[in-house]
Amino acid sequence: MFVAPDRQSDGIGNQLINKAFAHAEMRGAPIKALITFTFNNVSQGLYIRHGLFPRFPIYMVGVPRDRLAPRLAAPRLRLESLTADAIPYDRLAQIDVSAVGVSREKHHRFLLGDSTTRGFTIHAGNECVGYVYISGGHIGPLAVHRPDLVESAFAAALSFAAQSDCPAISAFVPGASEPALKAAIDHGMRLTFPMLLMSNRPFGDWG
């Protein structure tokens, strides 16, 4: 949501939020959530007044591809390409429910329909343990159903992204996921842009 600077303080933000929340109520959506800039204290105050409270930071992280390559080790997990004729939506839904509390099938269909994005399932041996999307040098969304696999899953995604010809590799990493942040920093990634997740209640397992 953005309001033109010369129209801020006119109540437009309140009207937009009220309309969005009315739509959510009509659709029966119990969770209301958004991501905003950590430095935007005015917007955060507006969201808090509407019942959305800060939960944790989300960091944009990045590293030049040529600096990442020397830090990469052989991946412990395997990526397998998602193909249009064999997409395990039921398995993806199970992973999504365990990670964020809801199924995201429409998001998967959207991402897989984007010609610039590639989707993969993540495997430990013969078991499908998660998924990841990679668009050029950007990683995400990524989810796994076990917190102990987050670091290895992120490292496997980094290894694949580093094979592209993109000059930089990036991702959004939730501050609630210590393994993902550790993997990012261990691979030379730097925090480039801090954001904040706000919601009307805690949801999902962002670890």
pLDDT per position as a tens digit, 15-47: 999 999 999 999 998 899 999 999 988 889 999
CA distance 78 to 152: 10
Long-range contacts of 100-108 (CB under 8 A, 24+ apart): 100/143, 100/203, 100/204, 100/205, 100/206, 101/31, 101/203, 101/204, 101/205, 102/31, 102/204, 107/141
This prediction's pTM:
0.89
Q: What is the pLDDT confidence band of residue 84, given thresholds at 50, 70 and 90?
A: low
Helical axes 89-100 vs 105-112, angle rounded to 10°: 120
User: Cα torsion at 113, 175, 55, 32 (round to 10°)?
Assistant: 0
pLDDT per position as a tens digit, 121-161: 999 999 999 999 999 899 999 999 988 999 999 999 999 99
pLDDT at 18: 94
Helix, strand, or coil here: 61? strand
For residue 143, list its beta bridge partners: 131
DSSP assignment string, 103-148: --HHHHHHHHT-TTEEEEEEEETTEEEEEEEEETTEEEEEEES-GG
